[in-house]
Homo-oligomer: A and B are copies of this chain.
Amino acid sequence: MNNTFGKNIGISIFGESHGAGIGVVMGGLPSGIKIDFDKIQSEMERRAPGRDKLSTARKEGDIPIIESGIFEGYTTGTPLCALIKNSDTHSKDYSKLKTHMRPGHADYTGYIRYSGYNDYRGGGHFSGRITAPLVFAGAVAKQILETRGIIIGAHISQIASIKDNKFDSQNLSAELFRKLLIKQLPVIEDSKISDMTEAIIKAKEEGDSVGGKIECAIIGIPAGIGNPFFDSVESIIAHLAFSVPAIKGITFGVGSDFASMSGSEANDEFIISGDKVTTKTNNNGGILGGITNGSPIIFETIIKATPSISKEQNTVDIENKKEVKLQITGRHDPCIVQRAVVVIEAIAALAILELNLSVTS
């Protein structure tokens, strides 16, 4: 099955955690967009490992090399390839993983899917590391979208059982998004930072890990973007979101609450504000019938705890077909939610780029 994403943009992600390099090719881009490399690099660093005591000790420069598609600082419109060479790889840490399938990981499913020929080192192509090129692509997409007035931000809405406030659809701004970026953990309600940090450190000490949720908002998006069958805004965002390892759920607007709300509660009444049609509330997360209504797009993703834990686990040896004990050594994060925030923003940007390029009438 062909590995590319998009009818308008053609995104290909490649690479394995411990191979020569990882990267992305982006096609279908508009030409003439000025690219700010510093901004791209700061996006890369939001995801990069080894930044603080909450993350894995693996350090990677994660500096994308532009192989093509940018000339004299502007997109050419022809395919843009960015390559990130792998450097700080401790392959020996993973030798046991050739046979011992880590629970919660793709070791077993990858083994079956590729008849044992997959690169098992560090999860290979299934590694969270492969989201680095996604972040690069998202950073480029964001810059393209910004020229159209579309801005994206996200915050940690939950870690373990600690919940942040939700976005207030009426009070979203580039300013708010910037404020989130400089916090130790990107949450709306500052008082949650210490509780969340504590939960992560506790998990680390126990050789365990924690999951959470990330809420993302897209502002400045015009009405009329998206499609009914089959490429709704929700379809495209969800398709990309579920490409990100560890994402196990996505909801739009009030999400799970829709189940218990009546129609009269859930419907967003239309009003006229200035000379513009808008909605009084934004329960639907800016999307009706798969198409934007001009209110901010709001969605939340559910992220499972990283399956790499140092606690001993029961599993199987796939080559010898027997049950074994497994203790995962090597470096890994007790929580990847904070590093995933920029990844979620990236897939949001790519989804909107895909959709925004598609309007033809």
Contacts and interface: CB of A to CB of B under 8 A. Distances in A.
A28 B229 CA distance: 11
Most buried by B among A8, A109, A239: A109
Interface in A1-41: 1-16, 19-23, 25, 27-32
B2 A290 contact: no
A207 B171 CA distance: 33
20 contacts: A1-B8, A1-B28, A3-B25, A14-B80, A23-B81, A28-B360, A74-B117, A79-B125, A113-B225, A125-B228, A211-B261, A213-B259, A232-B243, A245-B289, A245-B290, A249-B256, A258-B303, A259-B302, A259-B303, A261-B304
Contacts of A245: 289-290
Interface stretch (A43-51, A52-60, A173-181, A307-315): A307-315
Contact of A79 (B12, B116, B251, B287): B12
Interface residues of A, number: 156
Interface string A98-115: 000101111011101111
A283 B275 CA distance: 50
A114 B313 contact: no
Contacts of A306: 263
Given A13-B230, A101-B270, A269-B313, 6 more contacts: A3-B25, A29-B361, A78-B114, A203-B262, A258-B302, A265-B305
A105 B288 CA distance: 6
Interface string A257-290: 0111111111111111001010110001101111
Given A307-B266, A309-B264, A229 B13 contact: yes
Given A248-B252, A262-B209, A32 B114 contact: yes
B12 A25 contact: yes
Nearest to A357: B360
A304 B268 CA distance: 12
Contacts of A103: 267-270, 279
Contacts of A67: 14-15, 19-23, 83
A318 interface: yes
B259 A256 contact: no
A361 B304 contact: no
Interface in A199-237: 203, 206, 208-213, 223-232, 234-236
A17 to B, nearest CB: 10
